[in-house]
Chain A
Amino acid sequence: MTALLEVGDLTVRLRLGDEHREVITGTTFQIAAGEAMGLVGESGSGKSMTAKAIARLLPAGAQVSGSVTFDGADVLALQGAELRRHRARVAVVFQDPRAHINPVRRIDDFMTESLRILGDVPRAEARRRAAAALEEVGIDDPAKRLRQFPHELSGGMLQRVMIATALLSEPRLLLADECTTALDVTTQAEVMAILDDLRRDRGLAMLFITHDLELAGAVCDRTTVVYAGQIVETRSSQRLHDDPLHPYSAALVQARPDITATAPRLNAIPGRPVSAFEAPGGCRFAPRCPHALDSCREHDQQITELDAGRVRCERAADLRGRLLASYSPGPSSPGEAAHA
């Protein structure tokens, strides 16, 4: 079965003044129809830019190479009416709802706009569909909410509105870019549940972008970890969490404190996350990796298949099964901690 979304060797360089800086390097992955994949990374990993590349929302002057194929169409080559249709079929929900909604227009204007303009749906019908969508995301009294302005709604409610709006155009792929990061944890759980339900009901595929490995694991069957613009591991969420193959995935798993028990210290790796253009040659994670050898620093790492997943580490087979136990919590010295 051909995948709904196929990203092949995607490389993105952003313009900064006269220069271009690489933020995504040679990224390849697929998402099947109805599948949810988590994309997990920290600052500089390029995860948000990946979503923007798929939705054709990159900033002006960005250089893109490689291929993005959605439902058979070459996304990077789309223009005009086809591009608009593409944006209806690939819906995006961003982190800060208030930054993506016009504060001087009412909610119903915002929600029905694309339906009326692109779909030629009459206003009354569009409003009916909007009200139905608000009900689905758990908003009471949709008629009242539709007449309100964005500032009258809380962050959590506004994010539900954004999700409802995203679903109005009957998309086949949802790109969720840190869409719950700015929400309270209880609201986050609620919004995640809504996304999960709606996704299953509609057979919607989803690319769920987050810095929270466990959150991705909760709603996505498959998780991809990115570092410095490259994919470092792709595996089933469960296995990635229990038995990571890449040292960075292991570091992410161990960086979070355990809520069920108190440990005196955490297994923290030194240094700070870097972007693709700041990373050294050879393995980009090597400066922070406790298992790095000279050969790691010399060779650009390639993706290999291992244990029903893919990993970018030449030592993965050797290190397998040992990564979670390996970071020893010693006293932090100025040298170790100083890089962050």
Chain B
Amino acid sequence: MPDEPILSVRGLRKEFGAHVAVDDLSFDLHEGRSLAVVGESGSGKTTVARMIVGLERPTAGVIVACRRDRSRPARGGAERKRRGREVQIVFQDPYASLDPRQSGAVLVDEVLRVHHNHDAATRRRITGELADLVGLDQRQINALPRDLSGGQRQRLAIARALATDPRVLILDESVAALDVSIQAQVLNVLADIRDERGISYILISHDLAVVRQLTDDAVVMRKGVVVEHGPTGRLLDDPQHPYTRMLRASVPGPGWKPTRTLRTSPAAQ
């Protein structure tokens, strides 16, 4: 069914005690397209990502990925692994997202062994392909994380996420902690991967320029609620909601001058 979304979310809600982190979020992600979830701190965007990959359990709502419901925790190892082959995630902090004791080759090998029954030669071949895909050479794929830079670590984290050939990759502020010149390299790698594998991205980010670079559609969240959604280009060129306008107006660029908003406006504090 070509029109059915690869991932779909309906009425997603998450409460932490009395605090509502995410309220009534719905969106569709179609195969080969990329979606941004845009927001600042407290918007709930990271909670959304965590719910989709199963690290957080929704209070209400439905998440369907690859035509299978994943709104409730997986029952059993087989289902957990299958979900891991469908949707994967790359986190923000390059210094915490890799096991410090495993080299790239070892960690990819372990992921492959957990999921498949390939023989050693096949696993080595796949590891090599992944390394090429993310732009890591022989030395780097065999090095421990502590001998890799931030950009190299993120590439490794991407390689790990792609090891099982997922259909959806969630990028949770995955380039935010990188130097500007490195960020550009990793964004190019992500573009190449999408071209080669037809993977769909969900980009969680506060950085509107990166959102523009990488995504087709966007959802803007504020304090757990969606305030606006639409094609990324239209959203950024002609924002409708006051919050989206304020976000867009806060981005430094040629001719931009920072201005003070009203002191009493809740958005300013």
Contacts and interface: CB of A to CB of B under 8 A. Distances in A.
Interface of A: 42-43, 138, 140, 154-157, 184-190, 192-194, 196-197, 211-215, 217-219, 241, 251-252, 254-270, 272-273, 329, 331-338, 340
By secondary structure, the B interface counts as helix
Nearest to A45: B179
A193 B236 CA distance: 22
B264 interface: yes
Contact of B135 (A155, A157, A187, A338): A338
The 9 closest A-B pairs by CB, nearest first: A337-B135, A257-B213, A268-B184, A184-B40, A340-B151, A189-B250, A192-B258, A193-B258, A255-B184
B190 to A, nearest CB: 10
Interface in B161-190: 179-189
Interface stretch (B106-114, B115-123, B203-211): B203-211
B181 to A, nearest CB: 5
Contacts of B208: 185, 259
User: What is the interface residue range for chain B against chain A?
Assistant: 35 or more
B135 A334 contact: yes
Residue among A140, A251, A262 having the largest count of chain B Cβ atoms under 10 Å:
A262
Given A193-B258, A263-B213, A272 B206 contact: no
Contact of B252 (A138, A217, A251): A217
A256 B175 CA distance: 12
A261 B213 CA distance: 8
B137 A258 contact: no
A155 B40 CA distance: 12
A264 B135 CA distance: 18
Interface of B: 40-41, 131-132, 135-137, 140, 149-152, 155, 179-189, 191-192, 206-210, 212-213, 232-233, 236-237, 246-247, 249-254, 256-261, 263-264, 267-269
A142 B267 CA distance: 18
5 contacts: A43-B150, A262-B212, A262-B233, A332-B192, A338-B137
A156 B184 CA distance: 28
Given A265-B188, A332-B135, A189 B180 contact: no
Given A140-B264, A334-B135, A340 B185 contact: yes
A219 B256 CA distance: 9
Given A189-B250, A252-B181, 8 more contacts: A185-B40, A193-B258, A215-B252, A260-B237, A268-B181, A272-B179, A334-B137, A337-B185
Nearest to A262: B212
Contacts of A265: 188, 191
Contacts of B192: 331-332
B210 A185 contact: no
